[in-house]
Structure 1
Amino acid sequence: MVYQGPSRGCNSCRQRRKKCDGTRPSCMRCIKAGRVCGGWEHAASLHLRQYKAQNANVSAPFVSIARKCGMPKRVPHPVTGILPEDKLPSEISREASNTFALRAFFYNYCFISANPNLSRGYLSRLEPLALRLGPESELVKACEAVAFGGHGKPLNRPALVQFAEGLHQESLSSFAQNMEAGASTNRMEYKMIAMLLGLYQITMCSDEDYGNHITHAKGLAALMKISASPFALFGKDIGLFAVPAFRDSDTTLDSLLFSLEALWTRLESPQSSLDFPALAEALVALETYFSVWQKRRIPEVKATSVTTIALRYDSNEHPVGYWPGSVDTYIDLYVAGVWNVFRAARLLLGHLLMKFTSTIYDQDSNRNTTSTTYRLVEDIFASIPYHLTDNLPAFVDGMRTSEQIQPGKHLGGLLLMHPLYVVANLSSLGPEVRRYARRCLEWIGENHGLGQATLLARRSDLDREYLSSGLMLIWSGFAM
């Protein structure tokens, strides 16, 4: 989200006078060489200052204020066992704290695609709009509520969580009053606020109070004039997962997902009314379309393996991020997220194939479906370090000496939750695979403050409305 200037080289490649491929957040040249990528920010900021000095009368490009901001985790004193007082550092004012929270939100949840042909970004229009509306706007307060809540929980700072709830109530009350007063529902600001209020509930979700996000999903759907379903986002000319790199004439991932949803709905009808041969034929045909779509993707949006984690024969409980096999990287979290949406959908399709076509499937076909299922799961697991770590090259460099993954952007955990939930509850998979998916969900809940991830790890009985409304809120961020 920072101005990139005419050179797309990262700082490390520029210093070494090497050609950089421009992959973000870490370039592939640095990853393959085992170096920590220096990133772009410092060079970009320096170039921007020079640009402004030389072109005082030219309007400056947008520069993000997003930064990784945080406080130390509140832990008991090693000798006395007493927790320190839960308060802001004396040198930090409340105004400054709010600013840090806003910057942290932009860092954790927003990014602008460097190439619209390959990626849509996520909440890419939010930061410019929030900065224009100012610190007292409902939109900014909603962002700060999510940031304080999402950081306060992992840091064991209930004061931040309590402050987050105050901001949430203030934003919710003002939003409701504006809706009652007939505010223009076409304004992107209000759609973003509705989405953020839902994201706040996903963050603060608990076993006792876990369905509040459903109301916000319905409110967002009303503002967008669609039904309260994630699949409704495929209409309205949004093309949610159909940027040019993911589009293939009339076959888009959007259309494949819509077809899968339609088949799933038909299969939920009373069995006496089902035409099983016709449904089996439709399922097999759809599986072929999914397979062809995957093969036809251009190399630029496919996963790139950066290393391999060796099998640890003495461990039945692989640490989060250390599942044996490939570790993959992507050009950004949108692309990684699209691939895991595809994988989760194809896993569900494989489940339906095994369940409803067993009478016409031969043994070889069943083996092929099982093999495809495990390959898809391995690909999801290979994406986990990219989604969850703060610095993938540093993770790769430290794999031999550490089994701890350093938490990265919360968006990575948010996009990974539902694919992991599919894996954790797929009966055809082995117990070790399903346990690992649940441990990853627990990790996301604990380290990214996403309460819904913790709930997904512990519950397998969540109804369709609950899961669909959560997906709708998450996926809507691609459209804003």
Structure 2
Amino acid sequence: MVNTGKPSQGCGTCRARRIKCDERKPTCFRCQKSKRECTGYRNQLFLRRLGSGKGDIINWSQLPSAGNMDLYQSDWSNSITNVTYRSVSPPETIILAPPTYGISTSIEEEALCHFINSFVLLPCKGNSRSYMDFIIPAMKAEKSLISPGTSLNTAVMAVAMAAFGNRRRYQLVLAKAARQYAKALKQVNEALLDPELALEDQTLATVLILGVFEAFTGTNTLLNGWSSHAEGAAMLVKMRAQRKLLSPLGRVLHIMARSQLIVNCFVSSTPPPLGVGWWMQLGTKDGLPCQVARLNLETATLHAKANDVLAEAAMNPSNTDSIIEVQTMAQDLETKFRDWELSQTPEWSFSSVAWVDEVDVSRLEHSPSFPGRLDEYKDISIATAWCIMRSNRIMLGAGIVRANAWLHPDEDYRITPEYASTARISKNLIEDIIAAVPIFLGNFPEAFTRNRTPEIEKDALGGKSSLALFIMWPLFIVTISDHTTEDQRKWALGRLKLIAEEVGIRQASLFTQLTIRVPSMFIYKDRVAKEEGNAMAKVKCLKMALAKSKGIGKDAEHVLAGILGCK
């Protein structure tokens, strides 16, 4: 083969621009200075292999075209749940193949390096949790559950190529990602037929990674696919509970499944299967993280219960007692959340570190920060826990107002003390979420970043695209709350669009299409149910939401129905 010379160790952005990279970690200064995204560095292992002249030439013409992709139908429905699989539609702007920058590397290597650099989080000092770090052994050529040929290896390559293809808009890479996805599904289905393999860490890890794939690649079906994988992971965790001991990885996977489950409960208006206590036995027992996880599960459980009770209840003493019970439980949970806030240790506290002056309204959607304060946290897991808690607490407040509106149908619920209290709390929670968003999307002001000490800079939270995954749900809750100002809503929608278009996580795109308002839409449905029955209430509420969410498809309609409890 032709000698390609010494391979560049610069970041992908500098190599694409054909300029010298300063190779600063985690992101190069040239990219920061020019306000470009630093796409990271290639793995040293295959750089050494390429430098030795053993690189492979890829024949791009042999890759399948998206037009020839089949629609995949999995028999997953016979084992755990129903999902329809499809080809991955590329963005409007298409590049047929990535540039080689004068060097030949395999698409798998490029994609995997981009994915690990952008989306895998490794533990660091303090209270940090990792995210998908179990795929790292693949880069080190170690024998592991992600060795070549395993279902997890196939799923990781599918996600890596989907992330790479979405970010670079490479049609052929997206087509190959879809093929890898279909292969991983086939391998999972085969594993589920084996009583031993079904309980292995590899199988659960694969299902969780396939859920990540759905977040990256889905169109309007993505939340259905993501929810199905979340439900499948929950059922696998239940099956695995037969084991007396969990491996360290198994415990991490169970916690990851629990985190997905909490969001899925709100998306589908269903309670956590097996109950709160069962899920809490899987995680760590350490104070604050354990407490907030339990509160989030209890909130999801109460949300589902409120939807069931309020939807079916006619005005009679028995039902009134049930609604009062729901409202009391919600108020008790709110008190527990406040107590949790007051019990914070210095490590779990956050601080305001900058102030953003007024932004031109015409540019608000594209502004990296909303006018007001910016908050900093000591660790990304702490920031994530706070923001997820806040979003669930906003939904809890909606439940309190909803129950009170049912109990006092002749009053305007917006002038009640319960509404005033909930509005005040929710507005503060919304401001807190907004103040935290820049650290997830790497948008801290340059002056603040420049003045940081080397030690703090080393552990900075920005620069990882995976952080966008963690803030999507809180941003979505901001967009649907009745207590959000129109400027705040416009800005939050802009951040979701950025996550979809620039980070390449298309689940965020669907969130921007769903025009929902809570608690007002819940209250509308409950009042129609009293007069015309639950079935008609579901029809009318969904019709109203669809009229506001213009241009969405049937699959998005299914998602709307789930969130509003209209299934």
Say yes or no: TM over 0.5.
Answer: yes
Q: CA RMSD in A?
A: 3.7
Q: Which of 137, 144, 163 is the equivalent residue of 2:150? A: 137
* CA deviation string 1:300-350 (max 9, x = no partner): 122232211112365573534220112222233222111111000111112
The equivalent residue for 1:330 is 377
Alignment-derived partner of residue 298 in structure 2? 259
Which of 93, 97, 114 pairs up with 2:124? Answer: 114
Q: Distance in 2 between matches of 1:267 and 1:167?
A: 41
Give the letter aligned to residue 477 of structure 2.
V
**Offset at 1:191?**
1.0
Q: What percentage of residue pairs aligned between the two structures are identical? A: 21
**8 Å CA contact retained: 1:214, 1:466:** no
| Aligned-pair CA distance for 1:208 | 5.9
> In the alignment, does 2:136 pair up with 1:123?
no
SS at match of 2:364: coil
Aligned-residue offset at 1:445: 0.7
What is the distance in 2 between the residues matched to 1:172 and 1:184? 14
Shift of 1:354: 2.4
Kindly indicate whether residue 422 of structure 2 is the aligned counterpart of residue 369 of structure 1.
yes
Q: How does 1:19-98 map to 2 (within 5 A)?
A: 86-89=97-100, 91-95=102-106, 97-98=107-108
Instruction: Report how far residue 365 of structure 1 moved.
Output: 5.1
Is this contact kept in 2: 1:126–1:192, CA < 8 A?
Answer: no
> Does 2:321 correspond to 1:312?
no
Q: Could you say if the C-alpha distance between residues 348 and 311 of structure 1 is closer, same or farther in structure 2, counting changes exceeding 3 Å?
A: same
Cα distance 1:437–1:314, how it changes in 2: closer, same or farther (>3 A)? closer
Q: Whole-Å Cα distance in 2 between the matches of residues 318 and 328 of structure 1?
A: 20
Distance 1:286 1:308, change over 3 A: same
Match of 2:491 among 409, 414, 436: 436
* Structure 1, 131-140 or 444-453: larger mean CA deviation: 131-140
2:59 corresponding residue in structure 1: none
Confirm whether residue 382 of structure 1 aligns to residue 429 of structure 2.
no
Structure 1, unmatched stretches of 5+, are 1-23, 27-44, 46-81, 400-406, 470-480
TM-fit CA distance, 1:380: 0.7
Distance 1:356 1:346, change over 3 A: same
Shift of 1:278: 2.9
2:324 and 2:403 in contact (8 A); partners too = no
Superposed CA deviations along residues 382-435 of structure 1, whole A, max 9, x for unmatched, are 11111011x746484599xxxxxxx94232111111111111111232222222
Choose the corresponding residue for 1:222, options 216, 232, 235.
Answer: 235
CA apart distance, 1:126: 3.7
- Contact 2:401–2:418 (CA under 8 A) maintained in structure 1: no
Which residue type is aligned with residue 379 of structure 1?
A: D
Q: 2:211 maps to what in 1?
A: 198
User: Could you tell me which residue of structure 1 aligns to residue 113 of structure 2?
Assistant: 103
Deviates more, 1:101-110 or 1:284-293: 101-110
Write the distance in 2 (CA, Å) between the matches of 1:437 and 1:425: 10
On the 8 A contact 1:240/1:254 being kept in 2, the answer is no
Contact 2:359 2:367 in 1 (8 A): no
Map 1:227-242 onto structure 2 (within 5 A): 229-230=261-262, 231=272, 235-237=278-280, 240=283
Is the contact between residue 336 and residue 383 of structure 1 (CA under 8 Å) also seen in structure 2?
yes
Q: Judging changes above 3 Å, is the alpha-carbon distance between structure 1 residues 468 and 224 closer, same or farther for their aligned structure 2 residues?
A: farther
Match of 1:246 in 2: 289
Quote the Cα distance in structure 2 between the aligned partners of 1:466 and 1:191.
Answer: 28
Q: Which protein has greater RCO, CA pairs closer than 8 Å, 6+ apart?
A: 1
Residue 326 of structure 1: SS of its match in structure 2?
strand
Match of 2:479 in 1: 424
Taking a change above 3 Å as real, the CA distance of residues 463 and 296 of structure 1, as seen in their structure-2 partners, is: farther
> Residue 271 in 1 paired to residue 313 in 2?
yes
Secondary structure, aligned partner of 1:305: strand
Deviation at 1:463, TM superposition (A): 7.5
CA contact (8 A) 1:421 1:456 kept: yes
Give the partner amino acid of 2:485.
Answer: G
Instruction: Give yes or no for the alignment of 1:153 onto 2:163.
Output: no
Identify the range of structure 1 (420-429 vs 272-281) with the bigger mean alpha-carbon deviation. Answer: 272-281
How far apart are the structure 2 equivalents of 1:266 and 1:136? 44
CA deviations on 1:270-324 (whole Å, 9 max, x unpaired) are: 1223423333222222211111111111121222322111123655735342201
CA distance in 2, matches of 1:129, 1:90: 24
- One-letter identity of the residue aligned with 2:190: Q
Q: CA deviation at 1:236?
A: 4.6
TM-score if structure 1 supplies the norm length? Answer: 0.69
Q: Give the distance between the partners of 1:338 and 1:240, measured in 2 at CA.
A: 14
Task: Please state whether the residue corresponding to 1:176 is helix, strand or coil.
Answer: helix
Matches within 5 A, 1:157-176: 157-176=170-189
Asked which structure has the greater CA Rg, the reply is 2
- Work out whether residues 280 and 294 of structure 2, in 8 Å CA contact, stay in contact via their aligned partners in 1: no
Match of 1:20 in 2: none
Distance in 2 separating the partners of 1:155 and 1:354: 45
Letter of the 1:448 counterpart: V
Distance 1:464 1:85 in 2: 33
Higher helix share: 2
Are the structure 2 counterparts of residues 129 and 192 from structure 1 closer, same or farther at C-alpha, using a change threshold of 3 Å? farther
Aligned to 2:78: none
Q: Which residue of 1 aligns with 2:525?
A: none
| Aligned mate of 2:401, from 354, 369, 390 | 354
209-218 or 337-346, which deviates more: 209-218
Distance change (3 Å), C-alpha of 1:194 and 1:210 = same
Cα contact 1:198–1:213 (8 A) shared by 2: yes
Distance 1:467 1:139 in 2: 33
2:168 aligned counterpart, secondary structure: coil
Contact 2:365–2:490 at 8 Å: present in 1 too?
A: no
1:104 is displaced (CA, Å) by 2.6
| Structure 1 residues 420 and 244, CA gap change in structure 2 (3 angstroms) | same
Count residues with an aligned counterpart. Answer: 380
- State the Cα distance separating 1:154 from its structure 2 match: 2.9
Secondary structure, counterpart of 1:175 in structure 2: helix
CA deviation after TM superposition for structure 1 residue 444, in Å = 0.7
CA 1:91–1:299: 2 relative to 1, 3 Å: same
